[in-house]
Chains A and B, each alone.
Chain A
Amino acid sequence: ILNVEQSPQSLHVQEGDSTNFTCSFPSSNFYALHWYRWETAKSPEALFVMTLNGDEKKKGRISATLNTKEGYSYLYIKGSQPEDSATYLCAFHPGNQFYFGTGTSLTVIP
């Protein structure tokens, strides 16, 4: 069992604020790190698959960075909107299975 930790557990921000959260994972046996967005009453959907140290990915106002040597990834949301409200999961993928963190629940207040 591998330990994948996410912080903070939950976050409330005002519309227009920028925010970021962290995923920590083992720095050995790295293959890939995934970010998923999980809206209430829906299924998780992939945001990013990150594979190289120093990777930066961007999708609209959401971006992510990766540091495999120290075992962390940051997810950034610029100018949060109410539709960004969701739980954001990271998953560490050492090559065979996916190990999920407990998620960061984001609420954007209009």
Chain B
Amino acid sequence: NAGVTQTPKFQVLKTGQSMTLQCAQDMNHNSMYWYRQDPGMGLRLIYYSASEGTTDKGEVPNGYNVSRLNKREFSLRLESAAPSQTSVYFCASSGDRSINEKLFFGSGTQLSVL
């Protein structure tokens, strides 16, 4: 089982460029999430998708768009990258909607915007 697969692992962008971070899970999970991790701050939720076809804003959605392409895949798009979006991005999924559901994380994408 691959779990949660995230690509790319590293990316350098110039201000104004666009890019899409890809995330796929093979655990048949309903919910998927995008977080960003910045020094001195906890994981902050950008967007989440509680089920295929639905997406909702998290704490820091500005400058991002998402697509829940199907149950497996949840992509994060930066339309016009800004230096403030330099961060480490994590995709996560959770599955069974039980009270004991836990998050499974991808390996992260380190993004630098120059």
Contact = CB atoms under 8 A, between A and B. Distances in A.
Interface of A: 1, 4, 31-32, 34, 36, 42-46, 49, 51, 89, 91, 96-103
The interface centre, meaning the residue of A1, A91, A97 with most chain B CB atoms within 10 A of its CB, is A97
Contacts of A1: 59
A31 B41 contact: no
Interface stretch (B11-19, B66-74, B76-84, B95-103): B95-103
Give the dominant DSSP class at A's interface: loop
6 contacts: A42-B107, A44-B43, A46-B103, A89-B43, A97-B33, A100-B44
Interface residues of B, number: 24
A10 B107 CA distance: 23
The interface centre, meaning the residue of A31, A43, A96 with most chain B CB atoms within 10 A of its CB, is A43
Given A43-B108, A98-B45, A91 B58 contact: no
Contacts of B43: 44, 89, 91, 100
Interface of B: 4, 33, 35, 40-45, 48, 50, 58-59, 90, 99-108
Given A1-B59, A43-B90, A43-B108, A98 B42 contact: no
